[in-house]
Structure 1
Amino acid sequence: MGASSDPNQDGSDEQQKRSEIYTYEAPWHIYAMNWSVRRDKKYRLAIASLLEQYPNRVEIVQLDDSNGEIRSDPNLSFEHPYPPTKTIFIPDKECQKPDLLATSSDFLRVWRINDEQPRVELKSLLNGNKNSEFCGPLTSFDWNEAEPRRIGTSSIDTTCTIWDIEKETVDTQLIAHDKEVYDIAWGGVGVFASVSADGSVRVFDLRDKEHSTIIYESSEPDTPLVRLGWNKQDPRYMATIIMDSAKVVVLDIRFPTLPVVELQRHHASVNAVAWAPHSSCHICTAGDDSQALIWDLSSMGQPVEGGLDPILAYTAGAEIEQLQWSSSQPDWVAIAFSTKLQILRV
């Protein structure tokens, strides 16, 4: 991951370097980004613009293995209202379902990617506010891998909404927090967690909607938690980010309120976390110090003198705002900084 760039290296080293990092330059600042998981669409990602105007763009890009170029298909680029806060491809490795992409901004939208006459069509526009055609902007969402008809969204109006996207109906809508909800993550079929400006991580079970479990509250009052990653390989663990903080807090849901470990090697605010899709004890973090760090948490039960160090570090050309670890190709991590998308072999 820490490939060097000495111009005097011979060709074979240059070839090696080229195959570790691929870069795509978008015509705009990238914010939302996600890997496709379908087996028949290797190295495919969606990226979305962050433009301070109503029309924004989403592009679907793919690495051409033969020449090492990441290319955008102009037929699969489409206009999007407002900058998407998140985008996710349907979690369908075996290609059993239509090729769908979801985005969140003012509403949750589900798009269908049509390969025959290449284009992207809006399949559903889902508005969780029954009383109005307007709604509180969506900060994030997560697509349930165990039950792909379910998507959970989080909103600044303090609610989380669970959608059945096949019926295009709301399964459940609940007031999740006292303040804005900034992120949501599934931990299984009927269990999800959320983080909020109220500084808490809460876990919900759809079989008992009246109650939630507070797993963690930030130590200083009014410190918002902005991101949440739930470890898919070991659902006892989750990680959260505190707004404007350089540390990542790792939690064990069996022992609420006390972090198992705090990752403190970033030198500026952390913006993104991603658990390894294939290993229960590895996590990647990225932030405004332009660094993407990979950590081995296998020793997290035991105190480490001076705190844990990352096992891999990569420095990008600017603040890293987005990070995604490919679940179908776990050797690859994607980061977005400024107008660049990079995929890195780890």
Structure 2
Amino acid sequence: MLMATARQQQQQQQHGVSPPSGSSSEHKKKEIYRYSAPWPLYGMSWSVRPDRRFRIAVGSFIEDYSNKVQIVQLDEEQGHFCLRSVFDHPYPTTKIQWIPDQTGSQADLLATSGDYLRIWRVSNNEARQECLLNNNKSSEYCAPLTSFDWNETDINILGTSSIDTTCTIWELQTGQVIGRVQGNVKTQLIAHDKEVHDIAFTRAGGGRNLFASVGSDGSVRMFDLRSLEHSTILYEDPQQLPLLRLSWNKQDHNYLATFAMEKSEVIILDVRVPSVPVARLGNHRAPINGITWAPHSSCHVCTAADDHQALIWDIQQMPRPIDVPILAYSADGEINQVQWPVSQPDWIAICYKNNLEILRV
């Protein structure tokens, strides 16, 4: 089902989450499902556990100290989302991520960033905080965390990025399903000259050691945990505009995508040819907020922006110009999050206003 036709189905189903009349087989034919939260949404993460299909965590964006995280799950028989759990989170979540455990053999953990990095254990649809990771215990001041990433190769490693120009690599002792989770600082490094906005590990080289970061100095920098005294500048924005997010290609680890603040263009980089973008994706009509690569294809990437659009691009013609996306979806508001889950590659999730939507692609 093409995303371009999902808009037509949305018009037919004004409230998305309401199941149509008829049998459960009709429910499963829907191409779009919506969950509406009681507040604006920002953080979002799709669980990869095989025993938790269509389970998504979403975080509120409220400008006070009373934010929430909800865990919702699609009831595939009834055809709508059900609220499974909700817990308090002081500041808005700058990022949410489930443990990247595709076997379901580890403890069911969820991480959130904001003022600190917090690890939560989910059991019987209840979430409790396992630990709060703070590497500045000598001061009451904490530099807010802009983002983090959970290492898929070694799930005991997480990396955080902060407005204080640093990245911190954390080492967890997750133990087994029973037992408390603890975390220690593995290393901290000054990654940029200004605020660091995002960090992401890559499987390049077949290991767990490489990650990249982007920041307000307009650069993409790559690091190796085995020699952190050196870094490689993969790209610098010609106007030194802040770079807000980065995302690694999940199938071809030579490629990554990033975009600058208030810009409507996504830049595709090839680590083998640093400094010069190999492609520019420029069909959005407003600032971009999110990027995500297809989990099952090396040449498809999805972008989302303030123009209410989620666009899927086919970049296999690089380095020839990529002029138009192959699929498009228009939401009813500015899209601030987009994910293409490893566990459900036929679906994409977006957040706008107070809505979470999943779209069949």
TM-score (structure 1 length as normaliser): 0.94
Matched, 1:235 2:253: yes
Instruction: Tell me the distance in 2 between the aligned counterparts of 1:296 and 1:263.
Output: 10
1:156 equivalent in alignment to 2:163: yes
Counterpart residue type for residue 86 of structure 1: K
User: What is the distance in 2 between the residues matched to 1:216 and 1:15?
Assistant: 49
Which residue of structure 1 aligns with residue 338 of structure 2? Answer: 323
1:66 equivalent in structure 2: 77
2:218 counterpart residue number:
199
Match for residue 137 of structure 1 among 144, 147, 161: 144
Superposed counterparts of 1:1-346, under 5 Å: 1-2=3-4, 3=6, 4-5=8-9, 15=26, 19-73=30-84, 76-115=85-124, 118-166=125-173, 167-188=182-203, 189-221=208-240, 223-301=241-319, 303-304=320-321, 307-346=322-361
**CA separation of 1:131 and 1:24: change in aligned 2, threshold 3 A:** same
Q: Which amino acid counterpart does residue 140 of structure 1 have in structure 2?
A: S
Number of positions where the alignment pairs a residue of Structure 1 with one of Structure 2: 336
Quote how far apart the aligned CAs of 1:95 are: 0.9
Amino acid at match of 1:308: D
Distance in 2 (alpha carbons) for counterparts of 1:264 and 1:324: 19
- Structure 2 gaps of 5+ residues are 14-20, 174-181
State how far apart, in whole Å, the 2-side matches of 1:205 and 1:40 are.
34
Relative to structure 1, is the Cα distance of residues 7 and 192 closer, same or farther in structure 2, using a 3 angstrom cutoff? closer
User: Is residue 243–residue 260 contact of structure 2 (8 Å, CA) maintained in 1?
Assistant: yes
Q: Percent identity, aligned pairs only? A: 54
Matches of 2:120 and 2:141 in 1, distance apart?
Answer: 20
Deviation at 1:16, TM superposition (A): 8.2
Structure 1 segments (4+ residues) deviating >3 Å: 5-8, 14-18
**How far apart are the structure 2 equivalents of 1:324 and 1:19?**
19
- Any conservation in 1 of the 2:28–2:79 contact (CA below 8 Å)? no
Deviation at 1:130, TM superposition (A): 4.1
| Deviation of 1:308 (Å) | 2.2
In structure 2, what residue type is equivalent to 1:336? C
**TM-score normalised to structure 2 length:** 0.90
The structural deviation recorded for 1:182 is: 0.2
Q: Return the letter of the residue paired with 1:101.
A: L
Partner Cα distance (1:62, 1:244) in 2: 33
Return the offset for 1:309: 1.1
Q: CA deviation at 1:49?
A: 0.2
Partners of 1:18 and 1:68 within 8 A in 2: no
Any idea what SS the aligned residue of 1:95 has? Answer: coil
Deviation at 1:129, TM superposition (A): 1.8
